[in-house]
């Protein structure tokens, strides 16, 4: 009996020690969805990954809700790890303290839309005030913009990233070869939904809604008179899209109801999601107006890509035969089959290779935070297996 009790106690101790090994958590936060990954700090290997259908953009949520959302993600991810460890051991603990015994983390990193240096310090302070034992040292928490995570998955030294999801932004980032510290950073777009988000879900949706409402009012903007492949928005039938608008925004037969979604009930994610309806109209019904606005997105993304390449070449010497690699991030790149020709045309003579990561940028965020933290985690320098080419323009 005593031997059995001793062996059980020893086994539980092994499990607890396993759970208490260091973990690093990375979070990829977008305007519509959030992805997270837990890494073993000793090996750098992924323990568990998960996706959440809510935003962690602090501009969209506000600081207090942002803190709550981040801590919710962290607690859920640690609970997943704990359950995995207990399942593997075959032990069920009575009066399990939840995840409180799994703190502090080795590091916490986030690659997030809307996250820039002026906002990071205040947000991290709020986070640590709410959960003081989150990490061993305050400097072990790092939140950066949404380009750094995916870029770090492709190269440890930075590169060019073009994001097109709910919103859009292009970034050229250089990381120091020894410390991985951010040594240069320049951008194209990403200035918020009021003046930017071209070529992304929100920009496409709001341009389409604007055009449809003008048509309903009986006039056409000069913007809609621009021809794409011989077609203008002014001459297209707007009713198929208007019918989808009525259902998506629950207008109940009254056009005036759209106003509440643009003011008191403004929801960037819900507006951007209307682009899914446009994609369906293109793929299944070959709708000319939906096609027009998606092809317009290809033109805008192509011009952003060209601006990024030319900025890069102004910073370093580029040869005429040099191929520029751009990391493409976001769900709108799934529509390359619709707007790929327009995208390529805008790049002119520039040679570009678009690549996408094969794992979530949350892993890149965890790695990046890990190498910047007081207890560095192991990361692989070889990245070739973590991305694939989706388009090459020679």
Q: Are 305 and 345 in contact (CB under 8 A)?
A: no
Given this structure, which CATH class describes domain 2-146+361-379?
alpha beta
Q: Are 224 and 273 in contact (CB under 8 A)?
A: no
Q: Which DSSP category does 55 fall into?
A: -
- Residue 94: the pLDDT is 57
User: Would you say how long the chain is, in residues?
Assistant: 394
Summarised one tens digit per residue, pLDDT across range 32-42 is: 999 999 999 88
Region at 373 (left for phi over 0; alpha for psi -120 to 50; beta for the rest): beta
- Residue 21: the pLDDT is 60
The CATH code for residues 201-297 is 3.30.420.40
- Residue 176: the pLDDT is 87
Write down the domain spans for the chain: 2-146+361-379, 201-297
* Mean pLDDT, all residues of the chain: 90
pTM here? 0.91
Model confidence at 295: pLDDT above 70: yes
- Please state the rounded mean pLDDT for residues 266-288: 97
- Residue 328: the pLDDT is 98
**Measured distance CA(337)–CA(151) in Å, rounded:** 24
Q: What percent of the chain has pLDDT over 90?
A: 76
Summarised one tens digit per residue, pLDDT across range 244-263 is: 999 999 999 999 999 999 99
Residue appearing with tokens 């809307």: 114
Q: Are 351 and 168 in contact (CB under 8 A)?
A: no
Q: Are 171 and 161 in contact (CB under 8 A)?
A: yes
pLDDT band for position 19 (cuts 50, 70, 90): very low
Q: Do domains 2-146+361-379 and 201-297 have the same CATH topology?
A: yes
pLDDT band for position 5 (cuts 50, 70, 90): very low
- Residue 184: the pLDDT is 79
- Residue 254: the pLDDT is 95
CB neighbour class for 223 (10 Å; exposed up to 12, middle 13-18, buried from 19): middle
Summarised one tens digit per residue, pLDDT across range 93-127 is: 656 667 888 889 999 999 999 999 889 999 999 99
- Residue 235: the pLDDT is 95
- Residue 97: the pLDDT is 64
CA 64, 66, 69, 71 dihedral sign is: negative
């Amino acid at each position: 009996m005593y031997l059995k009790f001793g062996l059980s106690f020893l086994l539980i101790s092994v499990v607890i020690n396993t759970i208490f090994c260091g973990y690093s958590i990375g979070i990829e936060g977008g305007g519509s969805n959030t992805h997270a990954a837990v890494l073993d700090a000793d090996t750098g290997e992924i323990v568990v990954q998960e996706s959440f259908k809510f935003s962690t953009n602090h501009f969209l949520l506000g600081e207090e809700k942002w803190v709550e959302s981040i801590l919710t993600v962290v607690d859920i991810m640690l609970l997943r790890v704990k359950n995995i460890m207990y399942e593997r051991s075959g032990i069920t603990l009575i009066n399990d303290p939840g995840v409180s015994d799994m703190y502090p983390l080795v590091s916490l990193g986030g690659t997030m839309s809307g996250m820039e240096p002026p906002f990071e310090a205040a947000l991290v302070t709020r986070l640590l005030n709410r959960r003081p034992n989150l990490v061993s040292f305050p400097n072990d928490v790092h939140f950066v913009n949404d380009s750094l995570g995916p870029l770090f998955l492709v190269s440890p030294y930075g590169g060019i990233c073009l994001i097109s999801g709910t919103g859009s932004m292009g970034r050229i980032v250089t990381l120091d070869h020894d410390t991985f510290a951010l040594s240069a950073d320049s951008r194209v777009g990403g200035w918020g939904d009021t003046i930017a988000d071209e070529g992304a879900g929100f920009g496409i949706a709001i341009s389409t809604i604007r055009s449809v409402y003008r048509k309903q009012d009986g006039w056409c903007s000069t913007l809609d008179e621009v021809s794409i492949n011989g077609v203008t928005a002014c001459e297209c039938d707007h009713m198929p899209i208007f019918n989808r608008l009525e259902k998506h925004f629950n207008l109940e037969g009254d056009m005036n109801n759209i106003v509440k979604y643009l003011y008191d009930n403004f929801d960037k994610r819900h507006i951007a999601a209307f682009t899914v309806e446009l994609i369906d109209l293109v793929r299944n019904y070959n709708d000319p107006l939906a096609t027009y606005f998606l092809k317009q997105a290809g033109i805008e993304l192509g011009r952003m890509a060209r601006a990024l390449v030319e900025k890069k070449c102004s910073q370093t010497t580029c040869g005429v035969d040099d191929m520029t690699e751009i990391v493409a991030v976001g769900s709108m790149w799934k529509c390359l089959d619709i707007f790929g020709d327009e995208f390529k045309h805008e790049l002119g003579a520039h040679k570009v290779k678009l690549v996408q990561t094969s794992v979530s940028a949350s892993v890149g965020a965890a790695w990046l935070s890990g190498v910047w933290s007081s207890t560095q985690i192991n990361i692989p320098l070889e990245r070739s297996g973590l991305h694939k080419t989706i388009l090459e323009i020679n």
